[in-house]
Amino acid sequence: MKSSNLSRLGLILLLPAAWVQAEDSSTDGIDVGGAVRVQYSYEDHDPDNRERAGDFDLDTVRLNLDGEIGEVILSAEWRYYQFMQVVHHAWVGYDFDARWQGRLGVTRVPFGNQPYNSHSYFFDTTYYVGLEDDYDLGAVLQGKLGTFDVQLGFFKNDEQGGVDGYVSDRSERYSYDVVGVRRDGEGTFDAPVDAIAEGNTLVARLAWLHQCDGTLKTDLGVSALRGVLYSPEDDVGDTLAWALHLNADYGRWNLMLQTTHYDYELDDGANRLVVGAYAFFDTIPDRARLHTANLAYTLPVKLGPVTRLQFYNDYSLMTGKSAGLDDTFMNVLGVAVSAGGLYTYFDLVTAENQPFIGGTLGANADQTRTRFNINIGYYF
């Protein structure tokens, strides 16, 4: 999804006068891009949705800024949803040499398969506990040591400034973060009475990169993170997570495997936590194991504007939950269609105890739910 170039004249008008001469003599510049996405969904757990034969809604409008001025890199993304506006990411970076780069700002936490541990629009269950495509405020150093990919990060707090950040609604964020303790008597989706947040988190990701005859490519690695949970007054617990992961390409086939363990250990023994994202609060167990197995096949085609089809099946299983909670599973059978600037997901999701599929990670359901989803995005 490439972005279009900002015109040279437009860039000069936006820059301070002292920078104009440097811009004229270089190839520096900022690319402006974005996307507009709409979505159709049919949900068997929602009787009103079934009565209407599904719903068609605006999903996202987004604006991207990416480029470099004077060897300093910029990447930022703003998103508009019908229910919130958020900064997806916003970081500056510097290439120390051809192999090592540093980033500072709201940037992705380097954990698990990268950039995603999934092929579908719905990610996998690790996303809903804040361990896939998670963005926080901190610094990352990444580079190569021989055949190894190394990423080291320190995140001071979440993207909203932590437990006492100056925001009006701590649920209005793109990626999931812990925002409170779920106490007995509170509803699964209630705002937390006891607010907490993640902070001072160290993350490390090490992966072995191997390529064989240009046909087989593997990324085999381990990730770990350790941090602290804070209330407005004091630290109240610790965070720990680790994962083993494999991302392998063989010709047109892609295989992703990952096993993840996390433990948000609270000093007072509470075993459920409140997370926030997409303008609502939800509940998760304070510890669990997650296993994912995803397989995809990419087929180049020429069907009018359609140039590529990617068929996939993504499976997630969450076990060993605290608080006596039942397992969660989610299976996504789908195809992604590339046609010029259009990228469209067709997903058939079958799940139990899974957010956005008629359930939650923090309560038990006695039924398996199904959702058919089409997400159409024009990227520019």
Question: What pLDDT digit, counting tens, does each position of 282-335 carry?
Answer: 999 999 999 999 999 999 999 999 999 999 999 999 999 999 999 999 999 999
Q: What is the pLDDT, as a whole number, of residue 214?
A: 76
Contact indicator for 265, 274 with CB cutoff of 8 Å: no
* pLDDT, average across residues 49-66: 97
Longest dimension (CA), the chain: 67
| % residues pLDDT > 90 (the chain) | 90
Q: What does the alpha-carbon distance between residue 263 and residue 289 come to, in Å, rounded to a whole number?
A: 9
* pLDDT level of residue 155 (50, 70, 90 thresholds): very high
Answer yes or no: is pLDDT of 23 > 60. Answer: no
Of residues 293 and 4, the one with the higher pLDDT is 293
* pLDDT, tens digit, 9 for 90 and up, residues 225-238: 999 999 999 999 99
Query: What is the rounded average pLDDT of the residues 93-97?
Result: 97
CATH number at 4-379: 2.40.160.10
What number is the average pLDDT over the span 137-166?
96
Per the CB < 8 A criterion, the answer to whether 108 and 203 are in contact is no
Cα 105 from chain centroid?
Answer: 16
Look at residue 17 and tell me whether its pLDDT is greater than 90: no
Q: In this predicted structure, what is the pLDDT of residue 14?
A: 36
> Within a 10 A sphere around the Cβ of 146, how many other Cβ atoms?
8
pLDDT greater than 60 at residue 339: yes
**Residue 91 reports pLDDT greater than 90:** yes
Spatial distance between the Cα atoms of 305 and 261, rounded to a whole number of angstroms: 43
DSSP conformational letter for 273: E
Q: Is the pLDDT of residue 8 over 90?
A: no
Checking if the pLDDT of 198 tops 60, the result is yes
Residues 155-164: what's their mean pLDDT?
A: 95
* Mean pLDDT in residue range 201-228: 95
> What residue ranges do the domains of the chain occupy?
4-379
Would you place residue 366 in the very low, low, confident or very high pLDDT band (cuts 50, 70, 90)?
Answer: confident
User: Residues 158, 170: contact at Cβ < 8 Å?
Assistant: no
| Segment 27-36 mean pLDDT | 93
Mean pLDDT, the chain, integer = 92
Assign 5 a pLDDT band (cuts: 50, 70, 90). very low
What pLDDT, on a 0 to 100 scale, did the predictor assign at position 9?
29
**How open is the CA angle 243-160-289, to the nearest 5 degrees?**
20
- When pLDDT is cut at 50, 70 and 90, the band that residue 245 belongs to is very high
Per-residue confidence (pLDDT) for residue 26, from 0 to 100: 61
Which of the four pLDDT bands, split at 50, 70 and 90, describes residue 22? Answer: very low
- Determine the length of the chain: 380
Contacts 24+ apart (CB under 8 A), 305-311: 305/339, 305/340, 305/342, 306/337, 306/338, 306/339, 307/338, 307/339, 307/340, 308/337, 308/338, 309/335, 309/336, 309/337, 309/338, 310/119, 310/335, 310/336, 310/338, 311/335
Give Cβ neighbours of residue 71 (< 8 Å, ≥ 6 apart): 94, 95
pLDDT at 18 over 80: no
